[in-house]
A and B are shown apart, each in its own frame.
Chain A
Amino acid sequence: MNVSEEEKLHSSDNESDSESEGDLLSENESSSEDITESSSDSGSDSDTESESEDEENAPNGDIRSGDAEKQEKPKDEYAEDSSDEEDIRNTVGNIPMEWYRDYAHLGYDVAGQKVAKGSKGDELDEFLDKMENPDYWRTVTDKLTGQKTVLSDDDIDLIKRIQKGCHPSSSENLHEPWIDFFSSETMIHPVTNRPADKRSFIPSKWEKLKVGQMVHAIKMGWMKPRQEKKVKEEQEFYNLWKDDEEPEITKRYRQHIPAPKEIPGGHAESYRPPPEYLFTKEEEEKWREQEPDERRINFIPQSFSSLRLLPAYDRFIKERFERCLDLYLCPRQRKMRMNVNPEDLIPKLPKPQDLRPFPTAEYLASIVFKGHTDIVRSISVHPSGQWLATGSDDGTVRFWEEITGRCWRKVDVGGKVSSVAWNPDPNLCLVAVAVNTSVILINPRLGDKLIVSNTDSSVLSFGQEEDNSTVAEKKLPVNWIPSDLNLNDYKAGILLRVEHNKEVSQVTWHAKGDYFATVMPQGGSMSVFIHQLTRRRTQNPFSKPKGLVQKVMFHPVRPYLFVATQKYVRVYNLLKQQLVKKLQTNCKWVSSMDVHPGGDNVIIGSYDCRLSWFDLDLSTKPYQTLRHHKKAIRQVTYHRRYPLFASASDDGTVIVCHGMVYSDLLQNPLIVPVKILRGHGTQKGLGVTDCQFHPLQPWLFSAGADGTVRLYR
């Protein structure tokens, strides 16, 4: 029914429309292609087949709908939208039309009549049609009916849109502007305004149950808290050579080492150098004789009249090779050169001007004590500083007034005096003098009259008490001879003689003035004696010889005795009778020694020109060694008050040094040489034999081989 209705309804142009639909694509193709091609059999066969399939699947409906729209716009869309209502004039169905190739008809229409094939004109008609018909390009053949139809403008548009890949319908816009409803921005009027669920704020029963179970399991010990993973252990190995401050790559940037530069060529290398650059014959000969390394330039300059005549460069290979060698041997690492100012390496010492007072000797010597006729061997200053005692090789001991340089008294002791020492006891006026094999105690009768007379009586009375004990210790070869019987001696002030069996080289007092020690270098095991004045007793502290004893000193505070042998200084505790320390002097022959008034520092002078400072708390090796003297050091001495020490030498000079000892144990002594004092001449190879500081003033007394004693301020 439907079909028939349609037939009626649709006019002929409709018919043509539908025809055109059927083979739309294929026809179009063929029209666009060459005529010859479209006519070729085999090709067109396959084409039409595939095309027909396409036509079946998709485009049919669309085109139709397009048709309907176009034609019946005012109508309801759905009124005739039925595939059943298509106007079908050929009812053969959906078969390949080739099957009707050999027939005159194309199938059958609804009425059962054969649908005649359109008369196919020959090629000439075709051509003429092509030439004359303006609608030829839009004329297609309906395969089902064999009718020719002309495509409308709308159809063309449709085709064009499909070809472009656009939506077939022109009214459809696929790229509508985007409205972002669910944007991140919070709107006043939200898209959804649903209140939060109740479950979102009611604690979860399930979780509570689960947690309760876990708590219980932990309590019961079934479940153990997860053990934290151990921190990754430190790397077993580390790059020893890694510069941790700077990564490798930046280092390479920073410490870029450029390749060595090639020296630019000079005039001599020119192909035609100025004549002064060319070698003369002599120069050339000389150049050839020279070692390649010594040559100033490594080629002979040559001159050519033009560049054309220049031969090939014969040294090219060699030069490149050398360049490669240069690059290969160039240093790969920047050599860190020590850029140190040499003066910074010298320890910072204060200026001598800042270390005053010390003896400065503005005019060689402030006071010269003249009177001795031979070498003055020893000086000793009265503790008050008013008097000075000197012993000389001329067999006399002289006493001087310090301030005027006046010789106050002269005592003939009948032998070369090797050592003099004032008794440090302020209540005694007594000088010990070492002469040959004896020690003589002299009362110079200087100073306070009361003390002088007391000294006489007390020193002599000491003897009477102690007669018995001297007898008891007869084994020691020491003899105390009081001189009260000998009137001449007594008048001269000689109170006591202590006779030894060997030559006495040194006598020194203990700080309290009761004990004095004597040194006899040849004495062997009996080379050091300690005498007690008040009891007239003599002890031999050492049973075995320890070497050639040079000097002994009492510790100023503690009961220690310093014994200097040729190479060592031993410190003995006299109470415990044991060796406390043994200082290694590193000298060949120690000549002199002095102990700092604090007792913790010792200076040693040696015949090999060294002065060594020992810090007893620090080490048994010298803290500092000074080698300022050119000849043997004869005497070293500390100042009792000021941080000064001095050394007297055979080169005729006395060198005064600042030697500050700090009470802070961490701070090492500061030693600065401050002054060289000259003035003494040298005689018989001897220069200055002794030096002593003034006990109160920063002044220095020195005794010389020239028989004078000098006071330096």
Chain B
Amino acid sequence: MADVEHVQVKFFTKQEQYSVPDTLFSVPASVDSKQLSQLINSLLQGDAKTEGDEDLVKFDFLLDGEILRTALNHLLQEKEVSSEAVIELEYVERQPAPYPENSLLHDDWVSAVQAAGENILSGSYDNTVRLWNTQGEPVMTIPAHADPVKCVAWIRHDTSDIESTFVSGSHDQTAVIWRWHKERNEVDCIHVCKGHSGTVNCVSVSPSKEKMCTVSWDKMLKLWSADCLPEDEPESDRPRKKKKTAASKAQTRVPILTLSGHNDAVTAVQWVDDTSVVTSSRDQTVRIWDLKQAVQSNLLQGSEAIFDVAYSPLNGLLVVASASRHIHLYDPRSKEGAVVKQSFTSHTGWVVSVDWSRNNEHLFLSGAYDSILKLWDIRRQDFYVHVFLDLLPKAPLYNMHGHEDKILSVDWSVPELILSGGADNNLKIHHYNVTS
């Protein structure tokens, strides 16, 4: 061991519960963060040494705001820090890693996925919508559409209620509102929303659960009523599109409002609040619409066809996935200056789906055609602020491998569940331990 180079290290932290005495340590230069983490743990626990790894708190170590990922001497070389001087290492508790929980096999590509409460809804290219519970057991398979399903969304889902409602949109240009009776395990098609003349790309239900918006390849944004009160029986003999969805109660519903403005297919929609929605389009724009006045209230110009947009009510920011490997963070409130606040570059394929965490304003998910699901922290750039002038984070918090083909859809509606559906016919469930 004598020939191994040692460096002098001093530890400090901002998290008070993990603070250690301000003493110098001499550690081998080739030490990595795991070993350092053990060292901190042993300091914290004093003499009482435990063998079990699970008791240990995992830490991330930062040198001048850069996370230690490999051996310490590599980082020292990279940052050209002398190994003679005393190195001050900051440590923070590591964000918990999501771990793979389940993989739900479908018959075809999983193009849409959303969770609510104990249940997961998925849409597939075999024209079906499937219901699962969080344990990964199939609840129901609904032959919902005549063409592949593009999007699904829960309208009302309460664990206490015996009835839940959800909506699915499809290549067959319709969105269908379904009612699921849990006890009887029956699904009724309540309403068929007809009006689009192209694939329904995305559907989003308003926070108040009364309205929903669909966007389509026909460049239109349509607003529908989302109430699913069973209406009068006699209207059931209207001509129906689908035999398979043959719920006799299905009624055709027409849009309340149709908004045009995009010059190309609209790819995604999400409610900002009860009166406005944000849409993204392949015409390289993100637009925000005021539905009360039926006007476009804001336009953010990108530089690529945009595939997905997600809005977080916690921080009011938009995360945008476009036809490139970059994810951009937009601030819709900024009137002047660059719209793009940050860029996140790590994917090696088109990013097609993004979703914000519902309870942590810093975290979001992204799924891309490189079949890797990534978890990002937008604060992450704080660590790099001194190093990179462009504030480019080097890497996401976590990469979640597992998919063997393109990821088509991701969902983080339930904070504990990270869902992703891909072209390998799988719906992957990752469990995420929610901290504070």
Contact = CB atoms under 8 A, between A and B. Distances in A.
Interface of A: 357, 362-363, 366-367, 384-386, 403-406, 447-450, 696-697, 699, 713
A421 B303 CA distance: 30
B125 interface: yes
Contacts of B199: 386
Contact of A363 (B218, B325, B423): B325
Interface residues of B, number: 30
Contact of B282 (A447, A696, A713): A696
B403 interface: no
Given A450-B197, A696-B282, A697-B305, A362 B323 contact: no
Given A363-B325, A366-B323, A404 B406 contact: yes
A366 B197 contact: no
A352 to B, nearest CB: 16
Given A448-B173, A448-B218, A406 B197 contact: no
Contacts of A366: 323, 349-350, 369
B258 interface: no
A48 B303 CA distance: 135
B27 to A, nearest CB: 39
25 contacts: A357-B303, A357-B304, A362-B325, A362-B348, A363-B325, A363-B370, A366-B349, A366-B350, A367-B350, A367-B369, A384-B198, A384-B217, A384-B265, A385-B282, A386-B199, A386-B265, A403-B307, A404-B423, A406-B423, A447-B198, A447-B217, A448-B198, A449-B172, A713-B324, A713-B350
Given A404-B109, A404-B406, A363 B323 contact: no
Interface string B156-171: 0000000000000000
A384 B218 CA distance: 9
Interface in B350-398: 350, 352, 369-370
A386 B219 CA distance: 12
A406 B109 contact: yes
Contacts of B304: 357, 713
A447 B304 CA distance: 24
B429 interface: no
A385 B198 CA distance: 12
B217 to A, nearest CB: 6
Q: Dominant SS at the B interface? A: loop
Interface string B390-426: 0000000000000000101000000000000001000
Contacts, number: 56
A699 B217 CA distance: 18
Contacts of B324: 362, 713
Nearest to B148: A406
A603 B406 CA distance: 37
B348 A363 contact: yes
A449 B145 CA distance: 14
The 10 A-B pairs of least Cβ separation, nearest first, read: A448-B197, A363-B348, A697-B305, A713-B323, A366-B350, A696-B264, A386-B217, A362-B325, A449-B173, A448-B198
A385 B324 CA distance: 17
A449 B217 CA distance: 13
A404 B408 contact: yes
Given A386-B198, A404-B111, 20 more contacts: A362-B324, A363-B325, A363-B348, A363-B370, A366-B323, A366-B350, A367-B350, A384-B198, A385-B264, A385-B265, A403-B307, A404-B423, A406-B109, A447-B198, A448-B218, A449-B172, A450-B197, A697-B323, A699-B323, A713-B304
Contacts of B265: 384-386
A447 B147 CA distance: 11
Interface in B193-221: 197-199, 217-218
B239 to A, nearest CB: 13
Contacts of A362: 324-325, 348
Contacts of B348: 362-363
Nearest to A451: B197
Interface in B310-335: 323-325
Contacts of B282: 385, 696-697
